[in-house]
């Protein structure tokens, strides 16, 4: 069988949109991790998610190389399963969790609690109890009311290590709904209003809490290194002010994640090395300016580790041609990928499993759900003869798809298959109607 690297296929655009292992196979097929996507769709059905294990591990290592000496924690909210927890642990990353559920899954795999960070703007009592019971490495305090509540439940004798999440007042991110470093939104404590400084003072007054550093998160899908440089400068300035006012030199600084990946050919997305170099350079400059010892840096990549490793597969259900418009409807949609309807995320798609000599035509790939906004990909070039039964592959589908999937219209969540070295392994089975019915308590 002859295969061709995507890098030599200009019609596919930038190869970085697809996993590095993706190659063209016979009869219009596409192989990822040495496994046929058409074959996987035939075996497991569609919609189906495919995750390239080698790609995940390679990207995790790239982040470790990008910030030597720093701590890299994988943001579990992008996507977490038992296998993914194993992969990131084995590659030397920590884990950032936002709920007791994510934490319990990680602990079930023997993830070291000291390498876990607990986040959340509104942590439930269950979240805090789980974090304290397992002894997570740091809990990030996101509000004033959390301070006393957390301190009251620390079992002792050692204090719980915490960080304070700061709003640095920096606007960054691809959409206003995913910008989290600016004023006027639910995350963090404002530098401008003095809320962050008040929270630091309160934490320092709690003997059951040990303040080890500051945390910030600017947003998601940030395609420039500059916002991180500005955040590093502002946060070091705040660390210096804390030292001046409280006589405490905090040893850690967490600048969060949000690093962009390409979803469309040509999308800007600096490599981890570029982000790491800019952040480390500005951190060193800021520390020299404020005469502050360089804190231990933590970064929290999630999307940039796992999004490019994923491919979603859909079967075409109908093709509707209306004037100049072509709508290609598939058997998935916003129940497995809510990002386009939530904040206008854009994707590309490619037909796989059938060769076609027909000319390409611009089409809109839509989902099966009863919502006008259930659109998966706009302005996609597909063969003129696209028809029901054809298979579409959507790259960059590893993050914020299955982790945000819903049961809308009682359509079960898709399965997930991992591929590597020519082998596949089912990680998550398909959610069935029977699974949904088990939650019903009325006869």
Task: Tell me if 339 is assigned to a ligand binding site.
Answer: yes
Task: Tell me if 205 is assigned to a ligand binding site.
Answer: no
Residue with tokens 């600048």: 255
Sign of CA dihedral 142, 144, 148, 151: positive
Sign of CA dihedral 372, 376, 378, 384: negative
Residues with Cβ within 8 Å of 78's Cβ and at least 6 positions away in sequence, in order, are: 302, 303, 305, 306, 307, 398, 399, 400, 403
Q: How far is CA 285 from the centre of its chain?
A: 29
Task: Tell me if 303 is assigned to a ligand binding site.
Answer: yes
Q: 430, 417, 426: which is closest to 52 by C-alpha?
A: 417
Question: CA-to-CA distance for 301 and 290, rounded, in angstroms?
Answer: 28
The answer to whether 430 touches 336, Cβ cutoff 8 Å, is no
Active site residue 370: yes
Question: CA-to-CA distance for 387 and 316, rounded, in angstroms?
Answer: 7
- DSSP SS3 for 137: coil
Task: Tell me if 302 is assigned to a ligand binding site.
Answer: yes
Residue 362: both structure tokens together: 């611009």
Residue 232: both structure tokens together: 């590093």
Q: How far is CA 194 from the centre of its chain?
A: 31
Task: Tell me if 156 is assigned to a ligand binding site.
Answer: no
Task: Tell me if 371 is assigned to a ligand binding site.
Answer: yes
Instruction: Dump strand ranges (E) for 92-223.
Output: 94-97, 116-118, 138-141, 160-167, 189-190, 209-215
Q: 10, 9, 14, 11: which is closest to 24 by C-alpha?
A: 9
Neighbours of 184 (CB within 10 A): 6
Q: Single out the catalytic residue among 98, 145, 216, 370.
A: 370
Task: Tell me if 400 is assigned to a ligand binding site.
Answer: yes
* Catalytic residue list: 370
Give the annotated binding-site residues for substrate.
Answer: 303, 339, 343, 371, 400
Where is the binding site for pyridoxal 5'-phosphate, in residues? 258, 300-303, 400
């Amino acid at each position: 069988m002859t295969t061709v690297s995507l890098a030599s296929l200009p019609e596919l655009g930038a190869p970085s949109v697809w996993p590095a292992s993706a190659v063209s196979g016979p009869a219009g097929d596409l192989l990822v991790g040495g496994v046929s996507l058409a074959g996987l769709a035939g075996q497991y059905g569609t919609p189906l998610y495919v995750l390239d294990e080698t790609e995940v591990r390679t990207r995790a290592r790239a982040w470790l190389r990008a910030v030597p000496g720093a701590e890299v924690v994988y943001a579990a909210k992008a996507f977490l399963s038992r296998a993914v927890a194993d992969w990131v642990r084995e590659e030397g990353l920590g884990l950032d969790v936002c709920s007791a559920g994510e934490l319990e899954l990680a602990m079930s795999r023997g993830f070291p609690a000291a390498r876990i960070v607990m986040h959340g703007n509104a942590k439930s009592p269950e979240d805090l109890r789980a974090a304290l019971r397992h002894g997570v490495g740091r809990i990030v305090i996101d509000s004033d009311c959390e301070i006393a509540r957390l301190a009251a439940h620390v079992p002792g004798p050692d204090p719980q290590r915490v960080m304070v999440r700061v709003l640095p007042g920096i606007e960054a991110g691809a959409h206003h709904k995913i910008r989290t470093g600016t004023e006027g939104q639910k995350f963090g404590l404002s530098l401008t209003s003095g809320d962050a400084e008040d929270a630091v003072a309160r934490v320092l007054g709690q003997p059951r809490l040990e303040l080890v550093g500051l945390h910030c998160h600017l947003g998601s899908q940030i395609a420039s290194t500059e916002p991180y440089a500005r955040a590093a400068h502002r946060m070091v300035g705040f660390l210096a002010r804390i030292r001046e006012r409280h006589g405490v030199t905090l040893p850690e600084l967490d600048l969060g994640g949000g690093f962009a990946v390409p979803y469309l050919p040509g999308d800007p997305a600096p490599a981890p090395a570029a982000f790491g170099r800019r952040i480390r350079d500005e951190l060193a400059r800021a520390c020299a300016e404020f005469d502050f010892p360089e804190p231990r840096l933590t970064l929290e990549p999630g999307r940039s580790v796992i999004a490019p490793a994923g491919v979603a597969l859909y079967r075409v259900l109908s093709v509707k041609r209306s004037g100049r418009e072509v709508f290609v409807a598939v058997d998935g949609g916003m129940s497995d990928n809510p990002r386009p309807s939530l904040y206008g995320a854009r994707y590309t798609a490619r037909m796989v499993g059938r060769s076609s000599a027909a000319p390409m035509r611009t089409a809109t790939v839509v989902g099966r759900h009863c919502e006008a906004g259930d659109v998966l990909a706009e302005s996609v070039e597909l063969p003129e003869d696209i028809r029901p039964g054809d298979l579409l592959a959507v790259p960059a589908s590893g993050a914020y798809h299955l982790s945000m999937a819903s049961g809308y219209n009682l359509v079960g969540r898709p399965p997930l298959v991992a591929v590597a070295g020519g082998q596949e392994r089912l990680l998550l089975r398909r959610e069935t109607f029977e699974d949904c019915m088990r939650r019903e308590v009325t006869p």
